[in-house]
Structures are given as structure tokens and as C-alpha cells.
Structure 1
Amino acid sequence: MKRLRLAVAGLLIASLSACTVLPKSQVLSIYRLPASNLPSHDASADWALRVNKPYSSQLLDSTRIAVLPPGDQISAYQGVRWSDRAPLLLRDRLVDAFLDDGRLKAVSSDDSRLQADLELDGDLRAFQSEYQNGRPAARILLEARLVESGSLRILASRRFEVSQAASDTTVPAVINAFGQAGDQLAREVLEWTVQQGQAAQQK
């Protein structure tokens, strides 16, 4: 019995010792996509819009912040993550832009699946930091489609691509560049959607 107790004690000490050599979990810094409020307008469009999460590759459908250094190798910034997957970040940024603008009667996302007249759909082709002349730049490429709800008929489509150079190579500077690129893309998508949607409703 004494030997058994000694053996058990030895096992406990060994297991405790093993725990001390395990690597410490990495502390991650979580970033949201910075956004600024767009100018507001009076409601002028009597139709509702649903903004869908854009389709994307497995690389972009992640919380990792993708980076393309010189060459063809795709990597990600270490120790940092987006607060959500990139397609969701962009979708929510677009929803916020339409809500801040105020011209549409109602705006929702595909999470709620509320009734809408038109849907903003698309493919997210790029949402990454790319090095240009030794300096990182945030690049966003969205193939947008304005779709009629119910029939799913494509009313209009357009490619939106923006690139914003970071002020330096640090991660906060890159995140800030993503915020500026997201703002520019949101403004362009918003104006195009309102214009195309109004034209479709008047037919």
C-alpha cells in the first residue's frame, strides 16, 4: 500500500512538472475595422435593401489579417486578429454606411432575413495588406451585384477596388489603412446602389 501511495505521488509530481514546460498561450490583439460616419441625408428612396455577406475564398473567410509580402507567398500578421471574419466585417461596414446615409426606407442584413425589395450581393476577392514599394497598403476588391429579391434577377453589377497605403509598417498603421479603404469602398458602393436601385424601381 505504501508503495502504491509513493507511485501515485510520483505520478502527480511528474504531471505537475510536465505542465510547467507547456508553452504559454499566445496573447492576441483583436482589431475591429475602423469606420467613420458618413454624411446623412433625408429619406428619398421608398424601397428596402438587404446587404448580404459577400462570398469569399477560405483564405479571406477568416479572422486572420492576411498579408502579401513581396513574392507570391500568402501569410498573416502574427499575434493579431480581426474581431470577426473579413466578409462579415465588410458587410457590417456597408450596413452602417447605408444606415448613416439615411436615404433608404429600410436597411437590414442577411442575418435577420427581413423582407426587402433589393439585395446587395457580391464576391470579396481581396481584403489584405499588400506591399507596394516596400510599404504595406490595404487592398479591398468587391464584385458587387444588385439583385431583385424573390426573382433573384441581377439588376446591375460592378467591380469596386480600393487601395490605401499605410503610414508605416506597424500593425496599427495597417489597420488604420483598412479603415480608410473601407470608408472609400462603402461610399462608392452606397452611391452606386442608390442610383441603380432608384433606376430599377422607376421601371
Structure 2
Amino acid sequence: MTRAILIMAVTGALGLSGCAGIGTLNRAATPSDLYALTPKSTFDSNLPRLRQQIIVEEPTATAAVDTDQVAVMPNPLQVQYLPRVRWVDRAPLIVQALLIESFENSGKVAAVGRSTVGLRPDYSIVTDIREFQATLPDETVEDSRLVVDVRLNIKIVDSYSDHIIASSSFGKQRVAASDEMIDIATAFDGALGSAMREAVEWSIRKIHTHAANNPRPALP
């Protein structure tokens, strides 16, 4: 079983005071309820293999996202949080850990880790989390459902030249099956997982091409 990043629904009501369209979240959560956000484990079999070492920097994010709370937006200009529900870590640390494990699971990278582990990387993955929240349903639309939005902006930095060699954005949405926390967590997992899979595959291809066209100087 792969390692998982867990979130816990803490005991108590999950009601979001002052927000419409999320009524069923008023049900009491069970203390043992745990929800997992998982790394990706399936990738394009045609990905090239890298000999280079990679580090994944801790992602940056706005204060609204850089938190262990589950963010929801009742409208485009307002951010609120589900009470008594927490991610077990701040969203940037969750994304960093899952990106590292996803790179490992690809089987195409010689070595990957955090910058704090002492690796001397050939390339760095710099991530900015642009979106990591749910949008409340539109009460004016019949059968409207809560939508989870995840978007990662990825930059690849050549550690030898300290230059950005590629940059791209990976955004995904998932509709929650219901307003139950398990379905919201599942939607987050699906959106983040899909964005990470595309980001990992894109990064591996970009690094492979750059490394082939820019060989490192031979050591004396």
C-alpha cells in the first residue's frame, strides 16, 4: 500500500455558517473518519528515463491556500473554510509530498526528493498552487453540485545555469458526488491526481529534452 496523505474530519458538526448550498455538511462527523489524498501511480509507458537528480521545492501559495483548512468559495470574491475539518498538513506540504511520490512511482527518475535532504540536484521543480478549493453550488441552478478546483503552475529550473527551462500550468476540476465530506475528499483527490499526472509527465519529457541538448561540462 502506498503512503498516503491523510485528512481527518474532526468530531462535531460540519455546518458552514452563513453559506448556502452545503446543508448536508451539518451532519456530525465520526472521529475515526479519515480521508486520503493519494499520489499517482500510473503513467505513460513511453516516458523517457532520466539519469538526472530532481528536487521538488515546497510549493508557494496565497494565504488562502497555504493552510491546513479545507477552503470553499461561496462566490468568486470570498473564501471561507469548513469548520472542524482539517488537512493533516498545509496544502503546499501535501502537494510537495505527493509530487515526490508520484515522480518516484513513474519509475523514470534516477533520484527525487526534497531540497532539505541534501541532494545535489540537476533540476528543481518549483510549484505555485494557484487553486486548491471547492466552489459552492449555485442555488439558482437545479441539481448544481459542489466543484473542486485544483491548479498547479510548474517551473523547471536548471540547477547548473539557474535558469528556468520550462513553465506550464495544470488545472483540473472535479464535481463532488454529494456534499458529504468523503465525496468532497474524493473530488480533491481526483482533481489533484489528474493535475499531478500531467505535471510529472510533462516535467520528465522537458528535462529529458533539455539534458540531451545541454550536456554538463566534463569534470576535470
TM-score scaled by structure 2?
0.74
What is the Cα deviation at residue 125 of structure 1?
Answer: 1.1
Residue 55 (structure 2) pairs with residue 50 (structure 1): yes
| Structure-2 change in CA distance of 1:50 and 1:71 (3 Å) | closer
Deviations 1:52-93 (A, max 9, x none): 111111111110110012453210011100010001111111
Residue 185 (structure 2) pairs with residue 185 (structure 1): no
What does residue 34 of structure 1 align with? 37
Higher normalized helix content (fraction of residues): 1
What does residue 96 of structure 1 align with? 101
Deviations 1:127-154 (A, max 9, x none): 1111354311221111110001143200
What is the Cα deviation at residue 175 of structure 1?
Answer: 0.7
Q: CA RMSD in A?
A: 2.2
Higher normalized strand content (fraction of residues): 2
**5+ residue gaps, structure 1:** 1-25
Residue 147 (structure 2) pairs with residue 137 (structure 1): yes
What is the aligned residue count? 178
Partner Cα distance (2:83, 2:128) in 1:
26
What does residue 180 of structure 2 align with? 170
Identity %: 24
Partner Cα distance (1:32, 1:55) in 2:
24
Secondary structure of the equivalent of 1:98? helix
Deviations 1:171-197 (A, max 9, x none): 211111111112101110011001100
Deviations 1:81-135 (A, max 9, x none): 0010001111111111111111011111123241111011021111111135431
| Structure whose CA Rg is larger | 1
What does residue 79 of structure 2 align with? 74
Q: Is the 8 A contact 1:39 1:100 kept in 2?
A: yes
TM-score scaled by structure 1?
0.80
**5+ residue gaps, structure 2:** 1-9, 13-30, 139-143, 214-220
Q: Is the 8 A contact 1:31 1:80 kept in 2?
A: no
